[in-house]
Amino acid sequence: MKGAQFLVKALEREGVEVIFGYPGGAIMPVYDALIDSKIRHILVRHEQAAALAADGYARASGKVGVCMATSGPGATNLVTGIANAYMDSVPVVAITGQVATNLMGTDAFQEVDIFGITLPVVKHSFLVRTAAELPEIVHEAFRIARSGRPGPVLIDLPKDIANTVAGYEFDANGKGEVTAAPSNESIAYALELLRKSERPVAYVGGGVGMANALAELKTFIETTSIPFVATLKGLGSISTKHELALGMMGMHGMKAANHAVQESDLLICIGARFDDRATGRLNGFAPHAKVIHLDVDAAEIGKLRHAEAPVAGNLRDSLKALACQLNIEPWRRKCLAMKEATQWDYDAPGSQVYAPDFLRRLSERAGENCIVACDVGQHQMWVAQHFHFTNPAQHLTSGGLGTMGFGLPAAIGAQFAFPDATVINVSGDGSIMMNLQEFATLRRYELPVKVVLFDNSALGMVRQWQELFHDRRYSEVDLSDNPDFALVAQSMGLTSFRVDRRQDVDGAIDQLLAARGPVLAHVIIHQEANVWPIVGPGKSNSEMMDEVTL
């Protein structure tokens, strides 16, 4: 067989069902081999969308997502999506074509060193040197991508290797990776801190879902009765409606969540990394708290905040070992009272659509099994604050990299992972333009993705920062020359409609959810609507701003 056939057969061995990609010269032998494969190739309209769709597929399904592009610009267009997967620890295998080996280093047509370009944003890279090694490379790439702390892996395949004929041999060679259990000593000290604490708070991150430790986390929380907060990626690790859920923490966190963390005497950090968007000013974060830090990646423990009790290892084992009954009833009552006192008021003035209220109503009507893929901006924070999640795989959002244009391709990936699911893409008028071409992908495959586009004719989050922290000196945020998005969607084969009055919201949600194919709801909101609360730059999480404090 040719090397390209080796590659495809090896992907089949790994159980790959879907590849997102875009063809070109150097990768053409692989596309030829795909014709004879059962693997389904999804033609996106931009390579960045291929990488982001693979990311969304992986987040929703728990499987390794696969994307593919040709050399040169095809490969470089994947880089943002690869970096996005790296920052959020998502298992993706990216396959790129490369110029023939005798041309490498000659500045040949469509040659770039994608191996070197992606080194900072992959777990591992392979430059294929012989066709015979392809089966083992593919097997190892998938193992690396999904083991330990997940992440993206690159396979760069020169065109002459893809065309080389050789005998196919496969030996899984028994390699594997078992995540170590936490040490007895670390667990013993963590238990000691837990039992001595009076005001503990659990700080839940995206690592819990990746570790498939949702059941263990729920048992830990309900056994200890510890109130918990979540990062953007940790939302849904336990139902956001759970009695002890205080909400998202951080820059746009809920008041009860941030205040509880700031008052705590013990912070149990579970699969999180003390990201700046979660902590605010780091030296002012949870100033009275000792830290128990649970993480599969020992390099994260103590990287930004000293942990009195570092617990490296499998989160499932760690949480099981730490589930103990505590006497913290006065603290629990105080946190729940704070949560009750700071409940959101959805009765905003005016007749225009109020985005938090729209999302709350959509969440109630869509049910607990829908999947929401967000773009980046104000709407992303409103989803995190006001949508209800029971599993982190329902909430696909670009956390670490903050990639505008993520949402629509991610929704496409999720819809292929779960064809019968209700998949919703929540976007803004800035983000949607980043990958608007993927409306054509929705139409080509008749994907019933439901797009909610909040349009305030501005780059909303940037405008908000310029209003609050740059003396209203607005620079390059005006998008008043937006196209009519409903008409654009219709021209690309989507059903679409516009809603601009609050009294029409319920009917719009009914129309959105009842649509059988791809549909766009073009939702007009006030340009000066802001995300509240907000922690300003250089401030601690105890210094939250809202409309009242301005």
d(CA 55, CA 35): 24
Question: Which residue is catalytic, options 5, 47, 251, 387?
Answer: 47
Residues listed for the chain? 550
For 364, the token pair is 């109630």
Question: Which residue is catalytic, options 2, 9, 159, 290?
Answer: 159
d(CA 532, CA 180): 41
Backbone angles phi, psi at 215, to 5 degrees: -65, -40
> What does the CA dihedral 221, 227, 358, 450 come to, rounded to 10 degrees?
-30
Which residues are paired to 18 by β-bridges?
Answer: 40
Question: Which residue is catalytic, options 110, 437, 490, 511?
Answer: 110
Question: Which residue is catalytic, options 404, 434, 461, 492?
Answer: 461
How many beta carbons lie within 10 A of that of residue 11, not counting itself?
24
Give 311's contacts (C-beta < 8 A, 6+ positions apart): 182, 186, 187, 190, 292, 293, 294, 295, 301, 318, 322
Among the listed residues 179, 227, 186, the one whose alpha carbon sits nearest the alpha carbon of residue 331: 227
Q: Is 110 a catalytic residue?
A: yes
Cis ω on the peptide bond leading into residue 533 (within 30° of 0)?
yes
Q: Is 109 a catalytic residue?
A: yes
DSSP summary character for residue 491: H
Among the listed residues 324, 329, 326, 279, the one whose alpha carbon sits nearest the alpha carbon of residue 304: 279
Q: Is 543 a catalytic residue?
A: no
Among the listed residues 232, 225, 233, 273, the one whose alpha carbon sits nearest the alpha carbon of residue 250: 232
For 88, the token pair is 């959020």
Q: Is 159 a catalytic residue?
A: yes
For 223, the token pair is 């056994």
- Active site amino acids: 47, 109-110, 159, 461
